[in-house]
């Protein structure tokens, strides 16, 4: 009995001691530094924590907890920043919450206003929006409503409309839509054939070149409206450099890769028109270089088709059309060789400052060498011009001029290779 009594007393002492220890520990940790382990521990209110711990809010208890970082968490986990312990552990004051709510409401109201404005702007955009097709039809209708003898304000409106059409008709579908809505008959043909305003004719020719470029269906329609002969007449009669340049662009857009048009147009006035541009003293060198480039391109086009398509059974019709073309004899009969000779012999001093034009002429000379070599090789004026340009470019520091000089070297070797000729 006495022994049992002693056991009860000892047990009571141990329990009391444990409670004292727990209380002491709790008191110490409440004010002491947080001792982190690998397990989550609650951070007491006002308790400091060391830097570099993984800190979280326990969503079940609402208490802030921390632990040591695991190896795979370093660099990715949210870590404690102990520089400002007081502010970090302080709860958000209720005094600030109404301000935050008021600010949030203000932002929402502003956004609602901006959204309303955006909706209004979008509705206006939808109201005024036009597809390419709608714009093209609208521009054609405008031309139908213009007077036959427009005032200056109407001329400006026409020019603006033509500028817009030039941009829109680069696309194949837009060009065909323009044609289907009688754009050739109601807009371009009257201007090209009858209008006396040079600026309008230039713009109309640019539109014509835009819609016909790389567009076979449009080329056919343009050809059927006899634009080829109308453009040729402009090239023969015009002295305006801008009009000639635009006409050459439209002429090339109609003729390239269209052997039927080449046959019909070039066999009549087309070849004569291009030679006339070369012979005219009023036409600038850049326009003349466009002529020789177009001539060279058409000759090379025929040669390429006959060479590459001779073994293709489905190309028989195309080959037949190109075989009928006698463009080179037409050039000879219209004086092409002497016209090119004259341009280079008389204007070579101006050409010294136009290497890109010289390159275009050199390419054309190479392409048509078989036509004109007999006369060119005997012409001292042409020889002097080509050798002067070659030597000047060969001594230039400009890389492009040096490249052009190499082209001229090879050309001169073929044309003037007789021993009696000496270089300047």
> DSSP secondary structure string, 70-118?
PGGGTTTS-B--GGGHHHHHSPPPTTTHHHHHHHHHHHHHHHHHHHHHH
Give the other-Cβ count within 10 Å of 80's Cβ. Answer: 20
Instruction: Take residue 377 and report the two structure tokens written for it.
Output: 């090789």
pLDDT at position 8: 40
pLDDT at position 76: 47
Least trusted range by pLDDT, from 101-110, 177-186, 333-342? 101-110
Give the mean model confidence (pLDDT) for residues 285-290: 96
Helices (H) and strands (E) in the chain, counts: 22, 3
Q: Please state, in angstroms and rounded to a whole number, the distance separating the CA atoms of residues 108 and 42.
A: 38
Contact 89, 57 (CB under 8 A): no
Any idea where the domains of the chain sit in the sequence? 44-85, 134-332, 335-424
Instruction: Take residue 408 and report the two structure tokens written for it.
Output: 């001229």
Local confidence band at 121 (pLDDT 50, 70, 90 cut-offs): low
Q: Please state, in angstroms and rounded to a whole number, the distance separating the CA atoms of residues 203 and 169.
A: 13
CATH of domain 134-332: 1.25.10.10
| Nearest residue to 182 (alpha-carbon basis) of 226, 214, 144, 135 | 144
pLDDT at position 30: 47
* pLDDT tens string 73-119: 554 444 444 444 444 455 544 444 556 666 666 666 666 656 666 66
Strand partners for 67? 54
Contact 382, 414 (CB under 8 A): no
Q: Please state, in angstroms and rounded to a whole number, the distance separating the CA atoms of residues 38 and 15.
A: 29
Question: 17 pLDDT exceeds 60?
Answer: no
pLDDT at position 69: 78
Burial of 165 from C-beta contacts in 10 A (0-12 / 13-18 / 19+): buried
pLDDT at position 84: 46
Q: Which of 112-126, 280-294, 303-317 has the highest mean pLDDT?
A: 280-294
Q: Please state, in angstroms and rounded to a whole number, the distance separating the CA atoms of residues 281 and 240.
A: 12
Residues above pLDDT 90, as percent of the chain: 59
Contact 78, 55 (CB under 8 A): yes
Question: 163 pLDDT exceeds 60?
Answer: yes
pLDDT at position 109: 63
pLDDT at position 165: 95
Least trusted range by pLDDT, from 66-75, 160-169, 188-197? 66-75
Question: 147 pLDDT exceeds 60?
Answer: yes
* pLDDT tens string 378-419: 999 999 999 999 999 999 999 999 999 999 999 999 999 865
Burial of 41 from C-beta contacts in 10 A (0-12 / 13-18 / 19+): middle
Residues above pLDDT 70, as percent of the chain: 75
Residue appearing with tokens 């050459």: 248
* pLDDT tens string 183-211: 999 999 999 999 999 999 999 999 999 99
pLDDT at position 62: 72
| Residue 42: DSSP 8-state | E
Query: Please, which residues have CB within 8 angstroms of residue 52's CB and are 6 or more apart in sequence?
Result: 69, 79, 80
pLDDT at position 210: 97
Give the mean model confidence (pLDDT) for residues 41-69: 80
Angle 349-355-358 from CA coordinates, rounded to 5°: 75
Give the other-Cβ count within 10 Å of 413's Cβ. Answer: 9
Question: 161 pLDDT exceeds 80?
Answer: yes
Mean pLDDT for all residues in the chain:
83
pLDDT at position 153: 73
pLDDT at position 194: 92
Contact 368, 339 (CB under 8 A): no
Asked whether the whole model's pTM tops 0.75, one would answer no
| Nearest residue to 232 (alpha-carbon basis) of 258, 254, 213, 215 | 254
């Amino acid at each position: 009995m006495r022994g049992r009594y002693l056991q009860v007393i000892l047990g009571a002492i141990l329990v009391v001691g444990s409670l004292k220890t727990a209380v002491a520990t709790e008191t110490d940790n409440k004010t002491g530094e947080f001792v982190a382990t690998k397990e989550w521990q609650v951070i007491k209110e006002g308790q400091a924590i060391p830097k570099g711990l993984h800190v979280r809010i326990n969503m079940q208890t609402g208490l802030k907890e921390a632990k040591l970082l695991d190896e795979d968490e370093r660099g990715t986990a949210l870590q404690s920043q102990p520089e400002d312990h007081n502010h970090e552990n302080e709860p958000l004051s209720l005094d600030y919450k109404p301000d935050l709510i008021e600010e949030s409401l203000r932002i929402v109201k502003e956004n609602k206003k901006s959204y309303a404005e955006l909706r209004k702007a979008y509705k206006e955009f939808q109201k005024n929006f036009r597809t390419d097709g709608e714009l093209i039809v609208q521009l054609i209708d405008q031309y139908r409503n213009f007077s036959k003898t427009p005032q200056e304000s109407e001329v400006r409106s026409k020019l603006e409309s033509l500028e817009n059409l030039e941009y829109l008709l680069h696309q194949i579908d837009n060009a065909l839509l323009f044609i289907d809505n009688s754009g050739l008959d109601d807009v371009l043909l009257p201007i090209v054939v009858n209008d006396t305003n040079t600026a309008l004719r230039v713009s109309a020719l640019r539109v014509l070149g835009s819609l016909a470029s790389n567009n076979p269906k449009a080329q056919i329609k343009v050809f059927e409206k006899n634009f080829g002969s109308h453009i040729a007449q402009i090239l023969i009669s015009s002295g305006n450099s801008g009009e000639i340049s635009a006409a050459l662009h439209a002429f090339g857009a109609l003729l390239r890769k269209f052997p039927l048009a080449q046959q019909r147009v070039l066999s009549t006035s087309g070849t004569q028109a291009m030679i006339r541009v070369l012979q005219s003293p009023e036409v600038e060198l850049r326009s003349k270089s466009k002529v020789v480039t177009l001539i060279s391109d058409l000759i090379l086009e025929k040669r390429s088709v006959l060479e590459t398509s001779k073994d293709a059974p489905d190309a028989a019709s195309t080959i037949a059309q190109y075989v009928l073309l006698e463009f080179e004899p037409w050039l000879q009969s219209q004086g092409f060789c002497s016209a090119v000779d004259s341009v280079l012999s008389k204007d070579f001093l101006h050409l010294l400052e136009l290497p890109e034009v010289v390159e275009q002429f050199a390419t054309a000379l190479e392409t048509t060498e078989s036509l004109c070599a007999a006369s060119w090789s005997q012409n001292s004026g042409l020889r002097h011009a080509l050798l002067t340009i070659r030597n000047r470019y060969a001594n230039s520091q400009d890389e492009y001029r040096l490249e052009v000089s190499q082209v001229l070297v090879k050309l001169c070797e073929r044309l003037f290779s007789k021993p009696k000729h000496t270089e300047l």
